[in-house]
Chains A and B, each alone.
Chain A
Amino acid sequence: MSTAIHRNQVDLVNFIDFTEVECLNYVVGSHPLSNALKQVFRDDEDLYLQSDADEQLLMYIPFMQVVKLYSIVIFGSEEDGPRTVKLFVNKEHMGFSNVNDYPASASIDLSSENLKGEPIILKYVKFQNVRSLTIFIEDNQGGTEETKVQKIILNGTTVDTTNMKDLKKIEEH
């Protein structure tokens, strides 16, 4: 879908605060979240994020500045890629026990097209003031014990930076 990325939108990977990123229930050592999130690692087919004790995964992704989120792309396989994904905005330090305590900002059922790269367009009003995003993967396509996530792309705009750029352009005129 060409409309998924608007003119001012960018891949927000450069604005993720990787020092604060958290993930629960991943295979420690071999399959961390950075395999699906970091720029070079996520493009490598052999590096993926994998769940450990069961199929659920909980990721906390803070940004270095406030962003607007427009779409999210999650790559995975048809057998063990994620299916039900819930997104929470600005909820810090969530655990598996309180994922049902808050209403999710978005609850997505991933189709096989989504897992191949079709972006999921998020509800515009709910992702306007995002400091951190929590992604909860509830189950996977095959109903297996292991969920694998190949790649996650977050598309959006940064609130501050866009303003700065606009100002500069005006000054140039």
Chain B
Amino acid sequence: MVLEATMICVDNSEWTRNGDYSPNRFQAQQDAVSLICGSKTQANPENTVGILTMAGKGVRVLVTPTSDLGKILGCMHGLEIGGEMNMTSGIQVAQLALKHRQNKKQNQRIIVFAGSPVTYDKKVLEMIGKKLKKNSVSLDVISFGEDDNGKPEKLEALVNSVNTSDSSHIVHVPPGSNALSDVLLSTPIFTEDGEGGSGFAAAAAAASGGAGGYDFGVDPNLDPELALALRVSMEEERARQEAAAKKAAEDGSKQEKGPEQSSSSKDIPMTDASLSSTQEIDKGVEPMDEETALLQQAIAMSMSESQPGQSSGGMADNEMPDAITVDQDLAHALQMSVSNDNKKDLSADVNKVVGDQSFLSSVIASLPGVDPNDPSVKDLLASMEESKGKENDKKSEGDDGDKQ
């Protein structure tokens, strides 16, 4: 229920004779204007709508903002097509008409139909946009028909310079079998003002489309809840598909960086808490051989078992998806788990990992700040050697421990 005064700028230039929108650009536009007027006046009883034409002998205000729908629709008849569209003066005249609206509490909005090419410089349009913004006027642009000379960019620049908190919109409508007004129904120009607008839009769609024209084959008048549910569902699905497409594109670009990104779906029973940090390692290690996979399991456990203070450094490092750094981090995490000698089951698990003596010694040698000849390290290695071959089912316990 937005209280609004709207000025609609109609494009009646020679360009609108083209028949690429059915029945032709101008009549498609007229339909859309009638629809917008109906929607606006229904959204709030105090809303007013005015109409002006931008082409012809000059900008002509057909009707100043009024809530009388008959007056608005009546003035649309017998309009003559001719001349070139004068968009900048059209917008400025519209602003002037809005400024002198009777109810100053109404928000101001200008809706511009642009079917002909835009000859103005981008800077000029942005300047006008800023002026509208300064006077807190919102602007909707419906761009259809010609799109030469960077028209979409220019109009987008115009709308962007006006836009504050997403109140201004631009819609590009390509020519096609769909009526201009039908396309607009699902755009923010109709749906932004909440229930009232969209309800009207749904009703109008039902009325204009006929039985075959319903979305999903459901009459929104008969079962509005079902229709809404279907619509919401479709929007969600669209959002999901967009996200999936985006992700696929991102993955595609990442793949070039290194083979470690190739698998992201390897499943290891982990808790949610540790999942995010371990997944990175997960990806990194998978393509390597089996022993590193084992190592990686041990790290995952050590990270969740060790004290938060100890683990934080390791976790942060482990965020790096790079294969080389992951190796170092493995060692780092391993070191932490080894030094945490009161965790018996853990060392038993690590034991499996350190079965490969040569690998372990190379890992320890590569550790920063760890002397492989250090007696305590030697001690530990010896103790691991002893316990090697003990029970293996500790692993499952370790996994349980992760869940804490």
Contacts and interface: CB of A to CB of B under 8 A. Distances in A.
B307 interface: no
Contacts, number: 31
Interface stretch (B55-63, B127-135, B171-179, B315-323): B127-135
Interface in B84-113: 99, 104
B134 A28 contact: no
Q: For the complex, would chain A's binding face be called helix, strand, loop or mixed by DSSP majority?
A: loop
Interface residues of B, number: 10
A84 to B, nearest CB: 17
B130 A54 contact: yes
B276 interface: no
A53 B104 contact: no
Contact of A54 (B99, B104, B134): B134
A24 B104 contact: no
Given A93-B104, A96-B135, A29 B165 contact: yes
A56 interface: yes
A85 B99 CA distance: 23
A95 interface: yes
B130 A97 contact: no
Nearest to B161: A53
Contacts of A92: 104
A54 B134 CA distance: 8
Interface string A49-60: 000111010000
A25 B165 contact: no
A28 B135 contact: no
Given A53-B130, A93-B104, A97-B99, A24 B165 contact: no
Given A53-B130, A53-B134, A95 B99 contact: yes
Interface in B150-195: 164-165
Interface residues of A, number: 14
Interface string B181-225: 000000000000000000000000000000000000000000000
Contact of A95 (B130, B133, B135, B165): B135
Contacts of B164: 27-29, 52
A86 B133 CA distance: 21
A92 to B, nearest CB: 8
A56 B135 CA distance: 11
A96 B136 CA distance: 11
Contacts of A97: 99, 135
A129 B227 CA distance: 59
A97 B96 CA distance: 10
B164 to A, nearest CB: 5
B186 to A, nearest CB: 26
Nearest to A98: B99
Interface in A48-93: 52-54, 56, 92-93
Interface string A10-45: 000000000000001101110000000000000000
B398 to A, nearest CB: 49
A22 to B, nearest CB: 8
Contact of A52 (B99, B104, B134): B134
Contacts of B136: 24-25, 28
Which of B99, B104, B136 counts the most chain A CB atoms within 10 A?
B136
A25 B134 contact: yes
Contacts of B99: 95, 97
A96 B165 CA distance: 21
B17 to A, nearest CB: 36
B130 A28 contact: no
Nearest to A20: B105
Contacts of A29: 164-165
Given A28-B165, A29-B165, A95-B99, A56 B104 contact: no
13 contacts: A24-B134, A25-B135, A25-B136, A28-B136, A52-B134, A52-B164, A53-B133, A54-B130, A92-B104, A93-B104, A96-B134, A97-B99, A97-B135
Given A24-B135, A25-B134, A25-B136, 5 more contacts: A25-B133, A53-B130, A53-B134, A92-B104, A95-B135
Interface of B: 99, 104, 130-131, 133-136, 164-165
Interface of A: 24-25, 27-29, 52-54, 56, 92-93, 95-97
